Structure 1
Amino acid sequence: MCCRIQRPFVHLCGVGFINIKDQRSIMNKIIFILLPLFLFGGTVGKISGTVKDAETNEPLVGVDVFIPDLGIGGATDENGYYFILNVPPGTYEVEASMIGYRAEIKQQVQVYTDRTTLLNFELQTTVIEMENPVVVVAERPIIEVDMTSKEARITRSEMDILPVEKPLEVIVLQGGVTTDGAGELHIRGGRSGELAYYIDGIEVSNPLLGSSPIFDKNIISEMSLLSGTFNAEYGNVMSGVVNIVTPEGGERISTYLEYTSFMLNPSPYRKKDWMNSLDSTAYDAHRDSSDISEYNPQYLDAPFLGEINAAVMGPIPFDRRLKFSFSGNYSNEESYLPFGYESSYSLNGKLTRKFGGNLKLFIDGQYVNEETQNYSHRYKYIYENYLVTTRKNLRAIVGINHAPAGSFFYNLRVGYLVDSVETAVPGLSDDTIIEPVYDNYSEFYVSGYPIYRQFATTKQYVVKMDFTLHFARVHNLKWGIEHNHHDFFLDKREQLFTRGAVVYQNYQRTPMDGAVFLQDKIEHRSLVANLGLRFDYCFPKTVMWEDIEDPTSPSTEVEPKYQLSPRFGLSHPITDNAMLHFAYGYFFQMPPYEIMYFNGNYIAHPESIPRYGLVGNPRIEPQRTTAYEVGIKYAIQQIYGVDITLFLKDIKNLLATTEVRSFPYDYIIYTNDDFGSVQGIDVTINRKVVSHFGFSFNYTYQVARGNHSFAMQGFYDVYTGMPERLKEYFLDFDRRHTLSSNLKILFGQGGGLSFNVTAASGLPYTPYISEGVVVEQNSARMGWEYSFDAIAYQGFKIGGTVLEFFVKGTNLTDHKNPLYVYPRSGEPWDSGESEGGLMGSKDYIMNPSYVGPRRAVKAGMRIKLQ
């Protein structure tokens, strides 16, 4: 028997799956268990502070501090201290009042998810019949002293004045976030797929396929990115969390309508012989008898091109305590590439009803229907034979928020989520297999279809409950439980490599998973500590060989998976304008369930396993990242904020594909053999908008190394005869330098400009020197990527209506950003081969998808009524 299998880690002390040789002393393990970290997580924030006499500076007892819009508040104690829990993110007026003192109102008080907003009052003495209250505009602090790790957030109004198309483009602008050649997101050097998405406290990623959810900007009241360490409420994820809180209706009816045009400038690729403008000798390769190109641009069959967003929210007229928020999105967009498109529509709704006793009930729902076709260069001339993906997404959440006391509240959420994904060639019957046929030069396909078809339905039933208690003035204790019951169906046909066997899968599975978590946020004047612990469990509910190296061993029920995740964080104000922060944590993530159930028919019938057949592994263990970060934040003149953060990640048990040779079997199975490491630094500089302009700047330097860049790389290495990779190398998505900056200029009267400038060092690749010369994996770099984006807007107020026009452009310099390059030249459109060598046609070599999106200019308008 010959294999490449590593033995599984030993489960010790309940702290994940721990290799004894890799761990420190038992005392360190005990400390890590007793001092875990978590942030105060969820969908709400907190306001706290003190109230004093303006003349004597003595604390005032019994002052009422109240948020009129929400109908909640608190009273000061003997030290003048107050707190208000359970505050949804948003902007509010907060009023402090007491008999014998003039009331004071703080306006534009910003509350964020998971954060404590410090708000102090100084009241002036007066007679009872005194004049109007004092009105003060609250200043948002440059430094948030309760933030123990890196976090970025943005509101819907801020998103509207950025030159971006989709919400996730805002995430790309944040420090520590990079993209690979396929556009996938990577957080601090982690693999793609290590980012979880939460909407109103419920994770909405697809657990079967591991794909991201579909959502538009209409559902966003606030969106935050946790890119370092994060709290106990967020589990089964290793690199980052996107947390979205949906909007609720306000006290007044408001409406919003936005139209964004299609790309006003024509794509350079959607015309015959587009290459001739760059190279007079380059033409489309496929031509008819009249020497005219056979390429015909694809046009989307839709009523119109562009995007419409609409929303209406407010109170129900016959019941002012019942608030609603309804929105919709309709979009049709042709790709800038020679073919491809994206067409979608979505409907979103939320009802919120307040009852007596500080009880609130909400119902939140979303339906999305999206159809997309990606570009494949080989199908340039027969795009009608290429795959189309249709995805339908349904989300329904019912939640209760109840605060029976001012220092205690709880949340109960019940969710039902459905994600249906179908990928197939339109009009092609399910049982039809016609392999694609090359042209005479083995470049483009002239007939046939991709051997791939998938229909997958994921249903999730989610229950989540958490409790929050504020006590002893400094403690915010939160604990909770969540349980997910899944119902998966998958029918799939695919060919993993050219001329290889066609793999068929058809199964239904009903696994379960969930977690219990506990966290405490301790807020002292000189120290904030986030402590917590999370316990995750997973029941695959299937069978597997007892010995994954021996297909003849008995098949037994797969044991459940358990892990504990300790985390710990501190922030310490050094001065009024500077603070230190530190965070540490274990982060586990189970692979997508498809990995466990892949080719499950081989388990009962091992004799059907072909050579190099890929076998799923329900005995797979959770992947693990141990993350550290330490940083300093400081404010300059209460206008500029600087954050410098060092981070380190040790990554073990990564998903891998490993060959097993056990006569007469020779197959490849999913294992936990991959590993990696990341070191880096984030620098963020912000200037809040003062004197009509503000800016933000992010710079990240990082080194991401590992033995494989993605799980299937081991499979392809075996198939192509590559030796096993036993050491770390620069990963395919390792970008050494990334920079992003935004400059805002406000004209007043509703007008302004916003500019994004982004730059990133090139992705690595393995160069080809000459035959027989071996070079190190990923030892060369592609060229830098740059983009200059801008938006200009001007609003006009007509009565209670605001009419706003805007024009925006991306990659305005039309820089050709390399995504893939030829190993001989290091260039995307130059194969580096001589005319007499193996060089193909320029039509084939100049693949438009090898460079990033070209210049795009759009215009639009918004109408707001309130």
Structure 2
Amino acid sequence: MPKKLLIGFLCLFLLPLGLMAQTGKIAGKVTDRETGEPLIGANVIIVGTSLGDATDLDGNFVILNVPIGKHTLKASYVGYKDITITNILVSSNKTTDVNFRLPSEAFKVEEVVIVRKRPLVEKNVTNSTTVKTQDDIENMPVRGVEGVIATSAGIVRQNGTIYVRGGRGDEVQYLVDGVNVNNPLFGGRAVSVINNAIAEINFQAGGYSAEFGGGNAGIISTSIRTGGRKLNISGEIFTDSWGTPGEKTMGTYPYGVSTYVLTAGGPLVGPVKFFIAGQNSFNRTPIRYWEGFNLTQYYEPIRQTAAWQNLPDATKYQTDENGNFLPDPSGKYKYLPKDGIFDPRLGAKADFIDIVYPAGKIVNAAGENYVLNGNITADLNPINIRLGANYGYGTSRGGVGITTFLAERRATLRQSENLAANLKFTHLLSKNTFYELNLNYFFTRNISMDPDFKHDLALYGDSLANAQIGYPYFRADGLGPNPMYGYGYVWSTYGTPLSAYSKSRYQSIGAKLAVTHQLGREHEFRLGGEFTSYVIRNYANGRVVALAGALRNSPDITDRQLQVTNRINNYGYDQWGNEIDTGLEGPKKPVFAAFFIQDKIEYEDIVINAGLRYDYINTDDKAFKNPHFIEFDSDGNIRADQFVDVEASQTVSPRLGFSFPVTDQTVFYAQYGKFIQQSRLRDIYLGASLVADNIQGGYAIGAPVGFGLRPERTTQYDIGFRQQIGDNLAFDIGAFYKDIRGQIQQRQITAEEGAPHQAYYAWVNGDFATTVGMELKIDLRRTERIQANANYTFSDARGTGSSPSTAFRMIWQSPTRVPFFPQYATALAFDQTHRGSINLDYRFGVDDGPKMGSLYPLERLGLNILFTFNSGHPYTRVDDKSFRNRRQPIEELNASRTPWNFQLDLRLDKTVTVGPLDLNFYVWIINVLNTKNVEDVFITSGTADDNGYLTSEEGQADIANYSPYGDIYTSLFKDLYYQLNIANANLFGPPRQIRFGLRFDF
């Protein structure tokens, strides 16, 4: 681990690679305070930088390429007093308007300093945008990019996935300092960002300019802080480990959460500045409602019953030729070993099984992560260089459920590592023209493996190798220890392997060149192009334990037979997980490129943002000449002549946005745009042998692969109205419509007569969706200690499939040879018709509040409350016989809804100054009311705590079969089955969590 941290630090300061750090623009006018006449040639500078401009004949100035964050602007003119405006907030890709009215030197006043308030209405923004600044983020009772942005209008966060305005989870693009950090195979963010390192989170729910692509639903762009003119050191620590694990206090458990953060930034040498942040976080367990389980109370009564005692000894411990326990004659107490089980924690052969699964903790599921974010900037006027990197390393265990508790030592070990490095070179050719050259490197790897044998795949199921490390009861190579059975449940015993083996590695290099030219005050032209090339490797072996048995029983087994027998999914690796670079199973190398041109036209009464984007996408994919008749070679692989290369996709997308500032407090806006993005690359890539086996076998595959999939297409319309009321209140109300085409859908590809294969499952471009909705955002600037913002979203998201696999059961259970696919839209499973949040911050300032002597005991005390709500999501009820693999709907698809959810979070803090240190003490409570929100339900019953099985015909038959011990079976079913699902299926939202923390600033 220290080696990895060292690599991360070196990457942070030495790697010459990167993409785009985000900047904004400041524009305005300088006039005479008395006459209103424009002042020609007045100087306007950003204090502490080399950036500035001189006013033109109309008194206008424009400062381009301004780093995001807070700035101080100073205007000066001969014969006039200087004016300085502080607290000017610049956001990425936005124009900040700042006007100066200079007083003549005839007035006997000193230099004027004005503290600017953040504008409530931005006239230059032509789409729906939400910006969260560092000041906003540090007071909120949430952490992390997703946690912060999930409080925004237009976003649904469900089961850990972010959905934007009816788009699927993989349609959101994540940028960090302009670098695309999406996982290319599965979507989602692959790079961690430290909360304390965030300068700004900019969320655009569609309607973004032609410069951006690859995120049809929306873009979440995070910008990292940079060093300032003075050295600043800060840190933070928080934990919930204030109580005894497993013991409930104040209605909750301590979950072993602890985080440590340290940041530093400031001048380095001359014009060079730096910023770096490091974080270590530890979680002892996933956070769930979990009350523990005691197997002894069920196991021992069974062993003491007369029926059990009267069974012949041979039956109690008799095994078949494979070592499996044989059932007793009655069939009721099968596989319960009379002589106990082997477990060194219980005694070599325990006849008393003291199995207690603790409350408030998923066993052996701890995780630890290290993150580094940082950059170096050099302002070498007229050249600016920024070098940055974001590095993360994490390790965790997969945890064990109730039925695998005895084997908890072998819980899956997971490791992950990621790096996004960037270099931005900006050259200011004139005050109106500059270009940016950006280079980037992105890398991520993930591994899931057995904690003992790790990468030695042949040893996973090797009985001798397992015995040598303390697991002596393997039945044979490839067969783990005997499990323990009872009442239809299976308990894995000590030493049972719990892990498959998988790993993936993705890396990309890219470049972006963009030229910006400001023509007068009105036109900002931007022209550029970008290129990204990936190398993607993946390996997954779900039957790795069986490898040893296959090698022992068939020493002459071929590579192809080994891959098929173990259903290995590999490309970029051979069948043993070694890297390879050529051949049918070589790595995938997709290429993405784009060109864009845009013009932002800014007049007093209208702002137009118009652009065109050209996207080139080469997925390095192949399709079949005839997908209904595929031929194979003698090894069972698909013949090379059956494929054709898939042509690259080339698309031109127009973007057009308008803003109509009626007054400085009233703005109408509208936008229209077309967007494309390639689907998850997992939908396109699968190991060659696995593809061949799937097609030949005609298996029902829930996650197959597509051939020749084209990009998904979205058309979006927005219209809205922003209005300021008085000095401190504003609202933004808007409506949107989205039409999404070409989403991935599962289909069955039929086989022609005489084909050497059966019908098979594949992904195709078939699903579509439409979303209409309305968003309301309210902003209250701090007034009398109170600051607040609220939002509400109404949406109706409908489509033919909520995910690519929606049609799986329609194919699998079709009564006809060729399944019928009705193409009609229903509510999507992640649609939440009503959703919103209210964030209220009440804070005392310095020397504020009641006074006691010379003290103000409440000064710098703050309370931040966050209330969130949603109306639940759709699901489909099935009949009371739909258990195991059967699913028989009793209503239209997604006609039912889960219950409403309400959650209240808060953060109470107090800041004190001790010498040069500001110390902020706080308590952070998640789910203050400990509301047990139902996030999902059993589709048979419509509730989260009962699947309806025990009252069903099938369940009643089981209870009768176990008579006279049906009550034991019923109690066991409830305690085990429901707890097992509650712990692992995200049926409920988070329980109450109480965390104490300290933040310091030097």
Q: Under a length normalisation based on structure 2, what TM-score does the superposition of the two structures give?
A: 0.75
1:210 pairs with 2:187: yes
Asked if the contact 1:599–1:616 (Cα under 8 Å) also holds between the matched residues in 2, the reply is no
1:371 pairs with 2:350: no
Cα gap change, 1:603 to 1:375, in 2 (>3 Å): closer
Match of 1:292 in 2: none
Cα deviations by residue, 1:285-328 (Å, 9 ceiling, x for unpaired)? xxxxxxxxxxxx9998xxxx500111010011xx2211111110
Question: Could you tell me how far apart the structure 1 residues matched to 2:934 and 2:95 are?
Answer: 43
Question: Could you tell me how far apart the structure 1 residues matched to 2:910 and 2:414 are?
Answer: 38
1:477 pairs with 2:525: yes
Further displaced range: 538-547 or 854-863 = 538-547
Cα gap change, 1:673 to 1:542, in 2 (>3 Å): closer
Question: Could you tell me how far apart the structure 2 residues matched to 1:589 and 1:808 are?
Answer: 39
Asked if the contact 2:411–2:499 (Cα under 8 Å) also holds between the matched residues in 1, the reply is no
1:656 to 726, 739, 745: 745
2:788 to 659, 673, 695: 695
Question: Could you tell me how far apart the structure 2 residues matched to 1:825 and 1:475 are?
Answer: 60
CA drift of 1:200 comes to 1.7
Cα gap change, 1:73 to 1:813, in 2 (>3 Å): same
Cα deviations by residue, 1:767-820 (Å, 9 ceiling, x for unpaired)? 235567731111111111111000011111223221110111010111111122
Match of 1:360 in 2: 384
Match of 1:780 in 2: 896
1:707 to 800, 805, 817: 800
Asked if the contact 2:450–2:499 (Cα under 8 Å) also holds between the matched residues in 1, the reply is no
Question: Could you tell me how far apart the structure 1 residues matched to 2:906 and 2:243 are?
Answer: 15
Question: Could you tell me how far apart the structure 2 residues matched to 1:227 and 1:501 are?
Answer: 46
Q: Which amino acid aligns with 1:645?
A: G
The DSSP-based 3-state class of the residue aligned with 1:169 is helix
Question: Could you tell me how far apart the structure 2 residues matched to 1:444 and 1:844 are?
Answer: 12
1:327 pairs with 2:277: yes
Asked if the contact 2:796–2:827 (Cα under 8 Å) also holds between the matched residues in 1, the reply is yes
Question: Could you tell me how far apart the structure 2 residues matched to 1:299 and 1:379 are?
Answer: 22
Q: Which amino acid aligns with 1:595?
A: D
Cα deviations by residue, 1:720-767 (Å, 9 ceiling, x for unpaired)? 448635221111111111111100001113321100001111122212
Asked if the contact 1:324–1:351 (Cα under 8 Å) also holds between the matched residues in 2, the reply is yes
Question: Could you tell me how far apart the structure 2 residues matched to 1:527 and 1:836 are?
Answer: 65
Cα deviations by residue, 1:437-482 (Å, 9 ceiling, x for unpaired)? 6843445652555674321000111111111111032111111111
Q: Which amino acid aligns with 1:823?
A: I
1:391 pairs with 2:416: yes
1:493 pairs with 2:520: no
The DSSP-based 3-state class of the residue aligned with 1:597 is coil
Question: Could you tell me how far apart the structure 1 residues matched to 2:566 and 2:491 are?
Answer: 19
Spell out the pairing of 1:485-564 with structure 2 (5 A cutoff): 485-494=533-542, 503-507=567-571, 508-552=587-631, 554-564=642-652
Spell out the pairing of 1:1-12 with structure 2 (5 A cutoff): none
Match of 2:929 in 1: 813
1:735 pairs with 2:735: no
Match of 2:855 in 1: none
Further displaced range: 540-549 or 116-125 = 540-549
Spell out the pairing of 1:750-761 with structure 2 (5 A cutoff): 750-761=860-871
Question: Could you tell me how far apart the structure 1 residues matched to 2:485 and 2:155 are?
Answer: 41
1:190 pairs with 2:156: no
Cα gap change, 1:386 to 1:701, in 2 (>3 Å): farther
Q: Which amino acid aligns with 2:170?
A: G
Q: Which amino acid aligns with 1:459?
A: Q
1:415 pairs with 2:440: yes
Cα deviations by residue, 1:173-219 (Å, 9 ceiling, x for unpaired)? 00011122x22111111111111111222211121332422312244
CA drift of 1:383 comes to 4.5
Match of 1:622 in 2: 711
Q: Which amino acid aligns with 2:282?
A: N
CA drift of 1:606 comes to 8.3
Question: Could you tell me how far apart the structure 2 residues matched to 1:400 and 1:546 are?
Answer: 46
1:350 pairs with 2:439: no
Question: Could you tell me how far apart the structure 2 residues matched to 1:695 and 1:298 are?
Answer: 31
Further displaced range: 319-328 or 218-227 = 218-227
Asked if the contact 1:615–1:667 (Cα under 8 Å) also holds between the matched residues in 2, the reply is no
Asked if the contact 1:42–1:114 (Cα under 8 Å) also holds between the matched residues in 2, the reply is no
Asked if the contact 1:571–1:582 (Cα under 8 Å) also holds between the matched residues in 2, the reply is yes
Q: Which amino acid aligns with 1:50?
A: K
CA drift of 1:824 comes to 3.6
Match of 1:747 in 2: 844
Quote the sequence identity (%): 26
Cα gap change, 1:264 to 1:659, in 2 (>3 Å): farther
Cα deviations by residue, 1:548-606 (Å, 9 ceiling, x for unpaired)? 34324731222112111111111112233211111111111101222222233467788
Asked if the contact 2:568–2:690 (Cα under 8 Å) also holds between the matched residues in 1, the reply is no
Further displaced range: 256-265 or 72-81 = 256-265
CA drift of 1:538 comes to 1.6
Spell out the pairing of 1:71-90 with structure 2 (5 A cutoff): 71-90=50-69
1:220 pairs with 2:198: yes
Question: Could you tell me how far apart the structure 1 residues matched to 2:372 and 2:520 are?
Answer: 44
CA drift of 1:83 comes to 1.0
Cα gap change, 1:245 to 1:594, in 2 (>3 Å): same
2:88 to 109, 120, 131: 109
Question: Could you tell me how far apart the structure 1 residues matched to 2:999 and 2:867 are?
Answer: 25
CA drift of 1:631 comes to 0.9
**Count of matched residue positions in the alignment of Structure 1 and Structure 2:** 789
TM-align CA RMSD? 2.7
Question: Could you tell me how far apart the structure 2 residues matched to 1:602 and 1:374 are?
Answer: 26
Question: Could you tell me how far apart the structure 1 residues matched to 2:650 and 2:908 are?
Answer: 52
Question: Could you tell me how far apart the structure 1 residues matched to 2:713 and 2:400 are?
Answer: 35
Question: Could you tell me how far apart the structure 1 residues matched to 2:479 and 2:201 are?
Answer: 45
The DSSP-based 3-state class of the residue aligned with 2:682 is helix
Further displaced range: 786-795 or 388-397 = 388-397
Higher relative contact order (CA 8 A, sep 6+): 1
The DSSP-based 3-state class of the residue aligned with 1:679 is strand
Cα gap change, 1:656 to 1:78, in 2 (>3 Å): same
Consecutive unaligned residues of structure 2, counting only runs of 5 or more, are 1-19, 289-360, 462-477, 545-563, 572-586, 632-640, 847-859, 882-887, 956-972
Cα gap change, 1:591 to 1:183, in 2 (>3 Å): same
1:860 pairs with 2:839: no
Spell out the pairing of 1:277-316 with structure 2 (5 A cutoff): 306-316=258-268
Question: Could you tell me how far apart the structure 2 residues matched to 1:418 and 1:444 are?
Answer: 41
Question: Could you tell me how far apart the structure 2 residues matched to 1:811 and 1:482 are?
Answer: 44
The DSSP-based 3-state class of the residue aligned with 1:741 is strand
1:54 pairs with 2:22: no
Question: Could you tell me how far apart the structure 1 residues matched to 2:80 and 2:63 are?
Answer: 21
Cα gap change, 1:88 to 1:842, in 2 (>3 Å): same
Asked if the contact 2:732–2:778 (Cα under 8 Å) also holds between the matched residues in 1, the reply is yes
Spell out the pairing of 1:218-297 with structure 2 (5 A cutoff): 218-262=196-240, 264=242, 270=246
Asked if the contact 2:21–2:424 (Cα under 8 Å) also holds between the matched residues in 1, the reply is no
Consecutive unaligned residues of structure 1, counting only runs of 5 or more, are 1-40, 279-296
Asked if the contact 2:38–2:57 (Cα under 8 Å) also holds between the matched residues in 1, the reply is yes
Match of 2:308 in 1: none
Match of 1:336 in 2: 287
Write 1 or 2 for the structure with the bigger share of helix. 2
Cα deviations by residue, 1:315-344 (Å, 9 ceiling, x for unpaired)? 11xx22111111100000122234133310
The DSSP-based 3-state class of the residue aligned with 1:594 is helix
Question: Could you tell me how far apart the structure 1 residues matched to 2:484 and 2:681 are?
Answer: 36
Match of 2:964 in 1: none
Larger radius of gyration: 2
CA drift of 1:831 comes to 2.2
1:828 pairs with 2:805: no
